[in-house]
Structure 1
């Protein structure tokens, strides 16, 4: 009986002990997996909404002025020196990944009038490393979401993919994360 209890304690102790990666490739795979989970969780949070309301991610796309923003150590600033304000995405990035030193890019990808896939940068912080991870979330835009389609298209470059229906366009929000 004592032998069974001791064996049970040893098995429990070995299984409860966390193992740290011993090689750099194992460590990189572990970090990439953590970044993948973190990025997907962030997009899930951003795309969550109350019933009958738009998500923060959709609102950020609808309020976007088409400029590319870069993190300058204190805020997201465009090449025209405009600061990114009223952005749920930027707020979450500043609260979660900026303090951890995680570099990041966010791009919006959609289909243009010619049927080609177009990618527009929203937040850009340089070229990702070889160990970067990419997570994405699709956001459906309807004509009823956009108050002035002409102005929205001229500011963002996002076209109305089907003018005969309420479907405006499908935006693939891509978040690239990597350790610096």
Structure 2
């Protein structure tokens, strides 16, 4: 009888050990699966977040340009040119604005929307590039604002501004056709002067 009892206890202990080993293996497998799932989800989550931020920046950039075009402040920003210095007003030898928007209504809108580098908690940078046509039907660019190289997740928006021969310079006396303006006359035999495409590129710092 005692032999049978010992055999029964041994069998029970063996079953208990087998069950414990199975549970331990199950926990290990579950942990591995959880880790793999976490690794798979993280890039997708980051990508979705970046895409959301990029969409917000594109919308904000388009809104700033649309508002400036509608309220008449975009054209004066394009012609905010110091003909004697051959640069945008108050940019000196650098020729472009680096710490914020230009000192005009368009620059105020940029700073109000995205901030400027004088604030310590700045997290958004932007560049403003003006593209125009040449008389040879090519294109050239003039940098208005430059804050660095855009990131891979940069967003952009564009808006066109038409200039006539008698469009005045907003930063100096004279017109675009009578002064040393950065964009040349794309239609010398017409009152039309040029079409300027303003591109605003925005990215998270």
What CA RMSD, in Å, does the superposition of the two structures yield over aligned residues? 1.7
Distance 1:111 1:96 in 2: 29
TM-score normalized by the length of structure 2: 0.64
Q: Shift in Å at residue 98 of structure 1?
A: 1.3
Q: Shift in Å at residue 31 of structure 1?
A: 0.5
Corresponding position: 1:30 with 2:52: yes
- Counterpart of 2:78 in 1: which secondary structure? helix
Corresponding position: 1:61 with 2:65: no
Where do 5+ consecutive residues of structure 2 fail to align? 1-43, 88-94, 117-121, 169-173
Q: Shift in Å at residue 95 of structure 1?
A: 1.2
Q: Shift in Å at residue 114 of structure 1?
A: 2.6
- Higher Rg of the two aligned structures: 2
Distance 1:58 1:162 in 2: 19
Q: Shift in Å at residue 119 of structure 1?
A: 1.1
Where do 5+ consecutive residues of structure 1 fail to align? 1-21, 50-54, 77-83
* Partner residue, 2:156: 134
In the TM superposition, what whole-angstrom CA distance separates every residue of 1:54-87 from its partner, at most 9, and x where no partner exists? x10001112233321111xxx55xxxxxxx42x1
* Partner residue, 1:108: 130
- Write the mapping of 1:1-180 to structure 2, written as runs, cut at 5 A: 23-49=45-71, 55-65=72-82, 66=87, 67-71=95-99, 84-85=102-103, 87-98=104-115, 101-146=123-168, 147-148=174-175, 149-151=177-179, 154=180, 156-180=181-205
Ranges of 4+ aligned residues in structure 1 off by more than 3 Å: none
More strand by share: 1
Q: Shift in Å at residue 176 of structure 1?
A: 0.2
TM-score normalized by the length of structure 1: 0.72
